[in-house]
Structure 1
């Protein structure tokens, strides 16, 4: 993902960036429409997730996460933009005539070949099984975050990295670009009324009036662990990730 800067002419272009992409139309049999429900409201119309609403219409691309075309070589035909995620997607043409989308691996270019299976070469974009430590029906893996966990030996892994490593360097440059993505302005709780937020109220610029910041519903914020207790996957995590 190459990040390019605009030539300075207006405040929005002065602070904005754009990433280079291959423009192509998606295949009709690999897209479908979805009911837009990203307004942050529940069935009663109450806001349950703030700062959401609006945004441009989008079509969902069917992404092949299973990679069940075993031992059949495919060729990368296009690298396309996907409005539903911050990574590009690749259109793969398999030798048996199947056409599917996958996430764009870092370093993959148009014309490269990929294949999924148990006896495939270790190459960028290929999916294969690699056993590090065996314990019964599970394998012990260490993730890049430092977390050590158990995964079924029947799982496969895709070699490489998703090609969106520069996404944290992008700058939209203006508020309108953020609204196209369905994101609304973020308002601080300290400038609200007491009925709207626990931080609200007071005369002039008043502090929050609490020892620690809270969410609009009164729960601890900024640093409080939000993972559910007794989650089903707790037994699979041997060591938590490092901060």
Structure 2
């Protein structure tokens, strides 16, 4: 309702400005030639329009001017879903759509989830899953080693193919939700053998797409030209290498051009994917040389050395808007197996060094962990890693 009314107000302001300019009644605006910037017109509109707050709000937005016939009028930072006739430019940038509920309960009021309409609604492939037995954060002796764990919905672990050793084309059958990770997963079917496998779905991939793994020795040799090849064969090799750079394809870092966005990065020649595997994660290949190591910039800003024989997948990980989700209520955390975190001051003296006493007081003690270790004054630096060229920027 508000967006519809705002659009009508915008059209009314444009018509009023055009009429006043034609009759010469508006002293603040005489002609389009006297207006040199978008700011002056916005201020002029704010002096005579009764909707001053609405037209001057959100001045930080980079909104282009709206051309209406022979006169130029525009609203700075005005947000609407429609397109403007003339420039055919939208007044608002595309926003991510989240799934919300009608606020009939407090839990639904703050719920904000990423839509999952494009995901498969059925069960996972049974042969590609293994049973998961909940431990409640306990070890083999029954003692709690990881706090705030326990309960949650029963789930099965999806076996992900982190190596991508199978050569040949594989078709994306469907996208699924994995309760054990934040990103979506894709079910692949090999075109020749018909073998099924799961991979972490890259952003932008859809059912029906083809992905190829160039990790096997046969594919690597096919991509590497021999010394006796002629210039035409080298050109064919370049065309093949360029065609291989597609979302979802897996290949060694030495086969990728500099600047490629990658994820699922391995740290060994035949090792599994280790880095950039969570939702929205990605890295960028910034340098490859003759030293045997490539420089990769991670999403944290850290630049790291990775062997050029190690493999990675083209593109970024799916579900990048996971970081903006809101669970809405504490019960949804319990469904995920996360138990409450109780403050030490709210405990008894026998349970925590901060516990006990009368009222909200920890007895002027130094902040400590439940086991008596001081919380402040410890070391905050780790031993430098020889493979880190540039550490992540710190605040």
Deviation at 1:79, TM superposition (A): 0.8
Matched with 2:72 is none
Partners of 2:249 and 2:339 in 1: CA distance: 39
CA distance 1:208–1:90, shift in 2 (3 Å): farther
CA distance 1:19–1:73, shift in 2 (3 Å): same
Partners of 1:224 and 1:126 in 2: CA distance: 44
Partners of 2:174 and 2:388 in 1: CA distance: 38
Deviation at 1:103, TM superposition (A): 0.6
Matched with 2:108 is 13
Matched with 2:137 is 40
Deviation at 1:136, TM superposition (A): 3.4
The answer to whether residue 344 in structure 2 is matched with residue 189 in structure 1 is: yes
* SS at 1:19 equivalent: coil
* SS at 2:331 equivalent: helix
Unaligned runs of 5+ in 1: none
Higher relative contact order structure (alpha carbons within 8 Å, sequence separation ≥ 6): 1
Equivalent pair of 1:105/1:162 in contact (CA under 8 Å): yes
Matched with 1:164 is 319
Partners of 2:197 and 2:138 in 1: CA distance: 33
Matched with 2:300 is 145
CA RMSD of aligned residues (A): 2.5
Deviation at 1:4, TM superposition (A): 0.8
Q: Under a length normalisation based on structure 2, what TM-score does the superposition of the two structures give?
A: 0.55
Matched with 2:161 is 64
Partners of 2:180 and 2:346 in 1: CA distance: 33
CA distance 1:192–1:237, shift in 2 (3 Å): same
| 2:170 alignment partner, one of 74, 77, 97 | 74
Q: Under a length normalisation based on structure 1, what TM-score does the superposition of the two structures give?
A: 0.86
Unaligned runs of 5+ in 2: 1-95, 215-219, 221-240, 255-286
Equivalent pair of 2:152/2:334 in contact (CA under 8 Å): yes
Equivalent pair of 2:129/2:159 in contact (CA under 8 Å): yes
* SS at 1:12 equivalent: helix
Equivalent pair of 1:128/1:157 in contact (CA under 8 Å): yes
Deviation at 1:2, TM superposition (A): 5.7
Equivalent pair of 1:75/1:114 in contact (CA under 8 Å): yes
Deviation at 1:181, TM superposition (A): 0.7
Matched with 1:4 is 99
Equivalent pair of 2:288/2:308 in contact (CA under 8 Å): no
More helix by share: 2
Deviation at 1:56, TM superposition (A): 1.1
Deviation at 1:36, TM superposition (A): 1.9
User: Where in structure 2 are the equivalents of 1:1-243 lying within 5 Å?
Assistant: 3-21=98-116, 22=119, 23-37=121-135, 39-70=136-167, 72-96=168-192, 97-117=194-214, 118=220, 119=241, 121-131=244-254, 132-134=287-289, 136-207=291-362, 209-211=364-366, 213-221=367-375, 229=383, 234-243=385-394
Pick which of 52-61 and 11-20 moved more: 11-20
Deviation at 1:175, TM superposition (A): 2.0
Task: Tell me the matched-pair count.
Answer: 237
Deviation at 1:227, TM superposition (A): 7.5
Larger Rg computed on CA atoms: 2
Partners of 2:340 and 2:147 in 1: CA distance: 9
